[in-house]
Structure 1
Amino acid sequence: MSSAPETTRTLMNDEPLMLAALEDLAGPALILDEKLRVVRATESAEDLVGTSLPSGVNAAKLLCGGATNRPIAEALAKGVPVTGTVERPYRGGRARSIVIRATPVMRDGRRLGWVLALEAQGGAVGEPDGPVLFHGLWTRDPAMKQAFHVIERAAGRDVTVLVRGETGTGKELVARALHELSPRRDGRFAAINCAALPATLLESELFGHVRGAFTGAVRDSPGFFRSAHGGTVFLDEVAEMPLELQAKLLRVLETRTVIPVGGREPLPVDVRIVSATHQSLRMAVEQGRFRSDLMFRLRVIPIFLPPLRQRVEDVGLIAQKIVEDLNAQGGRRVSRIAPGAMTALERHPWPGNVRELRNALEYAFVIGEGPILQPGDLPVEILEPGASLGLAGGARANVPPPPTAEEPPEIARIRRALERAGGHRERAAQILGISRVTLWRRMRELGIEST
């Protein structure tokens, strides 16, 4: 008769049982050792990844491949938990997005390995490998689609959300999506930029004031929180809020009341707070510029928006949508973007993100002519990163005089191209998207001469 310890050892060595238990608990999952090698993989994980996952294979290399952007592999190498998305081959040669949630297995302060939970991305957001329009945000990028998924899940819960992203990535659009998808959708959406107002005015705008509280306060004002009762308040650039106002904001979150400037009695408010910042709140806390207790109350659900330079495939998609919007406004109508212009758009790092892209295309609509948006229609900084209207070292050989306000658009456009090219006609023709002969002919017809 087998003893109890022997029975336990037999069960512990029963690999089908262990994998079945892991499947029931975690679904598609991998167990890795401390060197990121696969120890065990559930059957559904192999189906999802689309390949066998033998013991000993390096999971980071297998899942992330040779991709340039490898946040999951980098996080695993650093030993920190991470949630991210990878692309894997799918039926018909297409790609499939897989969400990976990696959690370290720790014992006595030492990392023994990892558990990776896998999930196919999809559902209400749309096909994982196709373009998606989500409340004004267009993307093909898996990380953006994952952000959309978080937004959908968070919208129904009345919790605070912190949106982190660079200027122009669409933080206010995310806040509006959270409002429109929430039970508060029939209430007011009130947005305020905390960096745009001085402290005294910001306090009055947010919390309201009573008559006579300060010079010019001729009547009571409810402020953003009370006027948005039953709705959503969006605090953009919340990291710029002065410390003394952070204490009052914390009180709103803790007591659901506000005290107007000059008032004494707390007044009830019922709002959901969504905030946004382009910088790290944790760093602001470390620098003494932000309260740690407020940070934790604001970032119950953090949402990260990747910058446009990390979403090169989105540049063409978004550019086409912006062109459609500009066509609808009347005036010039663009049927397509020339390949050279698209190459320039995709090469640009877009420090201003989608907002800068829209500005560049609006410029192109005004400056250019005809149904094709040419490279020469774009601003000089898009065509030549770091360039300015002046040439390095002050050299300006054979450069025509700058355009005047009275000149026809075509003359102005040719002069600008020659300016950028330092008077070199062949290069100017490339900027304009025409042949050198055509440029020479038009210059002669229009009376443009290099000097």
Structure 2
Amino acid sequence: MNLGGEGPPAEALRQSLRALESLAGPTLLIDAQTRVLALGAQASALLKGRLKPGQRLAEAFEAGLAEKLRTALRAHEELPLASLEAASPGAPSALRLRATDLTEGNRSGGWAIHLAVVPEDSGGPEELFHGLWTQEPHMRRLFRTIERAARSGASVLVRGESGTGKELTAHALHTLSSRAKGPFRAINCAALSPSLLESELFGHVRGAFTGAVRDSPGHFRLAGGGTLFLDEVAEMPLELQAKLLRVLETHSVIPVGGRESISVDVRIVAATHRALRREVEQGRFRADLMYRLRVVPLFLPSLRERPGDILPLAGRFLKDLNARGGRQVLRFAAPARRLLQEYPWPGNVRELRNVMEYAHVMGEGPVLSEAELPPEFHEPLSVGLKPSNAGDTHRPAIGAPVSLDDIRRALAQTQGNRAKAAALLGISRITLWRRLRQDAGPRG
């Protein structure tokens, strides 16, 4: 079929391709032998006349594309295309291809091929490293550092915001180490009371406290020969820090209520979102324990520091959601792309995954629009503060924009509590955080 033909069928095909390109971007139709049946206007412009109806895709791209296409189709994966050889001046150097199967029943009807330009600054080759994905060079360098750290038996301290992959990093350190065949145990030091945390870490003997009806080995003994991951270690009370230090120095534990020390062979990987040196300066963390835990420090960047990964990661999460069936999202609308790139991502990669799941569920059709993103992406800065009659507090004034002075007064009034300050202003914590970053300007 040729778009250049005359009559109702050709015009109907033009209209169908225009509608398809408005939803999925540059599109062409191919038959089961990968011969081009028709090209949409956007696809023709993108390829600069390189492909015409009747040609095979391999004539414009690399040889062997037909089999790669079928492989990508079966795996529901995108297919990167090699540089266009002898392409017309101004043609894109590399494209990414998605295929929609047009099979009816047992009869192959070919595919609709959707094309997208791979940006030159896309960050280079992608890498999936023990659950951590990136195409940013500095993240790939971090992966190599993790590999080197894993080969030693030294304690590792992983620093990073919530959702940056601290536990995945700990798993990687364990899997790549000589202890990989041993157990991996993890405990969140912020999730338990001090007494329960002590028992969970060091174990207890029967009768040590009410409810201790039997001996319990504790995580240090259960992780023997393997790795123990101490998440949010900065939240550990000072009295437990002293006991943890003793375990690290003596390689033995004394269970709660016990008298005899028990030898343990464990590698420690600790993690925190806080700066331990600052915690030491403020008297909340022991300096000697910090040095024991921080033999090899690893710093996980926030998603804000990986701008080239935001949209590719979002696309990967959508591909996983598409594979579950139901809605099939093929691309982002331009306004949605802009909002995703400009959002501060305080929850990092974990938050991005949750946002994609929300949008996938809440929307319809093959294009993810800005309206399908969660409410925090659309909150206007429409509430300000004004002095109350008492003169010593502030209350929301509807209709006035929030200024930096408003935010500072609210933070001062709430002793720096951002959640309370945001509630006082009538905005979300995300909006408050974004305004603080915007008003702070670039950092030196």
Question: What TM bracket, shorter-length normalisation?
Answer: 0.5 to 0.7
* Shift in alpha-carbon separation, 1:387–1:294, aligned structure 2, 3 A: farther
Partner Cα separation in structure 2 for residue 378 and residue 196 of structure 1? 30
- Match of residue 346 from structure 1: 341
1:207 is matched with which residue? 202
Residue 384 of structure 1 deviates from its aligned partner by 4.4
C-alpha separation between the residues in 1 aligned to 2:337 and 2:129? 24
Q: Does 1:236 align with 2:239?
A: no
Q: Using a 3 Å threshold, how does the CA distance of structure 1 residues 339 and 301 change in structure 2: closer, same or farther?
A: same
How far, CA to CA, are the matches of 1:331 and 1:261 in structure 2? 53
Deviation at 1:385, TM superposition (A): 6.8
Q: Distance in 1 between matches of 2:123 and 2:369?
A: 32
Tell me if the contact between 1:208 and 1:224 (Cα under 8 Å) persists in the aligned partners: yes
The alignment of Structure 1 onto Structure 2 pairs a total of residues equal to 269
Find the partner of 1:167 among 162, 170, 174.
162
Cα drift, residue 213 of structure 1: 0.4
Q: Structure 1 length as normaliser, TM-score?
A: 0.57
Unaligned 5+ segments in structure 2 are 1-92, 94-121, 384-395, 400-444
**What SS does the aligned partner of 1:275 have?**
strand
The answer to whether structure 1 residue 131 and structure 2 residue 126 are counterparts is yes
User: Using the alignment, how far apart are the partners of 1:357 and 1:208 within structure 2?
Assistant: 37
1:348 touches 1:385 (CA, 8 Å); kept in 2? Answer: no
Is 2:123–2:308's contact at 8 Å kept on the other side of the alignment?
no
Whole-Å Cα distance in 2 between the matches of residues 205 and 338 of structure 1?
Answer: 49
* Cα deviation digits, residues 369-417 of structure 1 (max 9, x gap): 12221111101212447679xxx9656xxxxxxxxxxxxxxxxxxxxxx
Q: 2:291 is matched with which residue: 291, 296, 305?
A: 296
Give 1:252 shift: 1.5
* Residue of structure 2 in register with 1:261 after alignment: 256
Amino acid corresponding to residue 285 of structure 1 in structure 2:
V
Q: Deviations over 1:258-281 (max 9, x none)?
A: 111001111111111000010100
- 1:218 maps to what in 2? 213
Task: Name the counterpart of 1:194.
Answer: 189
- Percent of aligned positions with the same letter in both sequences? 65
Structure 1 distance, partners of 2:123, 2:366, is 33
1:401-420 counterparts in 2 under 5 A? none
- CA–CA separation in structure 2 for the residues paired with 1:188 and 1:386: 50
TM-superposed deviation, 1:199: 0.2
Does residue 352 of structure 2 align to residue 376 of structure 1? Answer: no
Match of 1:250 in 2: 245
Structure 1, unaligned stretches of length 5 or more? 1-93, 95-126, 396-451
Give the equivalent residue in structure 2 for 1:180: 175
**C-alpha distance in 1 between matches for 2:380 and 2:305:** 17
**Is the Cα–Cα contact under 8 Å of residues 257 and 268 in structure 1 kept in the other structure?**
yes
TM-superposition CA deviations, 1:58-78 (whole Å, max 9, x none): xxxxxxxxxxxxxxxxxxxxx
Give me the whole-angstrom Cα distance separating, in 2, the residues matched to 1:184 and 1:333. 42
- Within 5 Å, give how 1:310-389 maps onto structure 2: 310-384=305-379
Deviations 1:76-96 (A, max 9, x none): xxxxxxxxxxxxxxxxxx9xx
**Could you say if the C-alpha distance between residues 385 and 164 of structure 1 is closer, same or farther in structure 2, counting changes exceeding 3 Å?**
farther
1:14-43 deviations in whole A, cap 9, x for unaligned?
xxxxxxxxxxxxxxxxxxxxxxxxxxxxxx
The amino acid of 2:311's aligned partner reads: G
Asked whether the 8 Å contact 2:199–2:255 carries over to 1, the reply is: yes
Whether the aligned pair in 1 keeps the contact of 2:123 and 2:136 (CA below 8 Å) is no
Q: CA RMSD in A?
A: 2.3
User: Could you tell me how far apart the structure 1 residues matched to 2:259 and 2:343 are?
Assistant: 54
* Aligned equivalent of 1:275, options 265, 270, 289: 270
- Find the counterpart in structure 2 of residue 105 from structure 1: none
CA contact (8 A) 1:192 1:234 kept: yes
Q: Distance in 2 between matches of 1:214 and 1:258?
A: 18
Displacement of 1:331 in angstroms is 3.3
Q: Sort the Cα spacing of 1:319 and 1:218 in 2 relative to 1 into closer, same or farther, 3 A.
A: same
Who is 2:279 aligned against?
Answer: 284
Matched letter for residue 257 of structure 2: G
Displaced runs of 4+ in structure 1, greater than 4 A?
384-388, 392-395
Q: Would the aligned equivalents of 1:381 and 1:387 in 2 still touch at CA under 8 Å?
A: no
* Structure 1 residue 129 displacement after superposition: 3.0
Contact 2:336 2:369 in 1 (8 A): yes
Deviation at 1:144, TM superposition (A): 1.6
Indicate how the Cα distance of structure 1 residues 386 and 321 shifts in structure 2: closer, same or farther if over 3 A, else same. Answer: farther
Q: Deviations over 1:334-386 (max 9, x none)?
A: 22222221111011011111111111111111211122211111012124476
Say which SS state the counterpart of residue 191 (structure 1) adopts: strand
Looking at structure 2, the residues matched to 387 and 266 of structure 1 have their Cα atoms a distance apart, in angstroms, of 62
